[in-house]
Amino acid sequence: MGTAVTKIKMAQKESQGIAEKKKGRRGPGSVIGSSAAGCVCALLSIYGVGGKPFSRLWELGFVASFCTKLSDTVSSEIGKAYGKTTYLVTTFKVVPRGTEGAVSVEGTLAGVVASILLASVGCIMGEIKVAEAVICVLSSQIANFGESIIGAELQEKEGFKWLNNDAVNVINISLGSILAILIQQFVLQNWITT
């Protein structure tokens, strides 16, 4: 799905200078950055780190990581293709499409839908429960908002040249995964037991 939305209105995005490099083909850094958190969670689950209670948390983190990545890609690409008005997340000033840290209603809604779809697949496959799917969607949106702030304020700016798109993706996806685990463990768990 991420590759498909990257190709939407590719000619328009290229003419505006906001298309993904290499026509959206991902390089090794992107692939590693996009899958690192999910792979860590999968390994923690496979090797039973923390025992059975933690196994469910690692599975939740796994699904949340990919919900976060898909939501990020879809919101960015749909926003660049169809965003009518694009706002810088830190100031809410109108900025051109493709500006780091910018959001649009169209892109944001598309990202939420993508996250819901992937979380639903996780439910159907038995990896997560419905309440956990809601957590995945919520944590992915919080993480993506955080990524927009990082993009607007720090990404590839003076003193942060190392903070390129791949590094920001690692932070975003890890944050989505960690948030889902923390929400499940400390918020939902306490809410259900009280």
Q: Which residue has the tokens 């944590």?
A: 139
Residue 21: per-residue pLDDT: 72
Encode pLDDT of 99-139 as tens digits: 989 999 999 999 999 999 999 999 999 999 999 999 999 99
- What is the number of domains present in the chain? 1
Q: Which residues contact 14 (CB under 8 A, 6 or more apart)?
A: none
Angle of helix 165-182 relative to helix 130-153, nearest 10 degrees, comes to: 140
Encode pLDDT of 34-66 as tens digits: 899 999 999 999 999 999 889 999 999 999 999
Residue 191: per-residue pLDDT: 57
* Assigned domain for 19 exists: no
Residue 47: per-residue pLDDT: 95
* Assigned domain for 37 exists: yes
Q: Which residue has the tokens 């003419």?
A: 15
* Assigned domain for 16 exists: no
Nearest partner of 140 among 70, 57, 48, 53, judged by Cα: 70
Q: Which domain covers residue 70, as residue numbers? A: 2-8+30-193
Q: Does residue 192 register a pLDDT over 70? A: no
Percent of the chain with pLDDT over 70: 95
Percent of the chain with pLDDT over 90: 65
What's the chain's average pLDDT? Answer: 90
Nearest partner of 98 among 28, 25, 4, 21, judged by Cα: 21
* Assigned domain for 111 exists: yes
* Assigned domain for 77 exists: yes
* Assigned domain for 136 exists: yes
Residue 194: per-residue pLDDT: 42
HSE-up of residue 189 (Cα within 13 Å, Cβ side): 11
* Assigned domain for 123 exists: yes
SS3 81: helix
* Assigned domain for 60 exists: yes
Verdict on whether the full-model pTM lies above 0.95? no
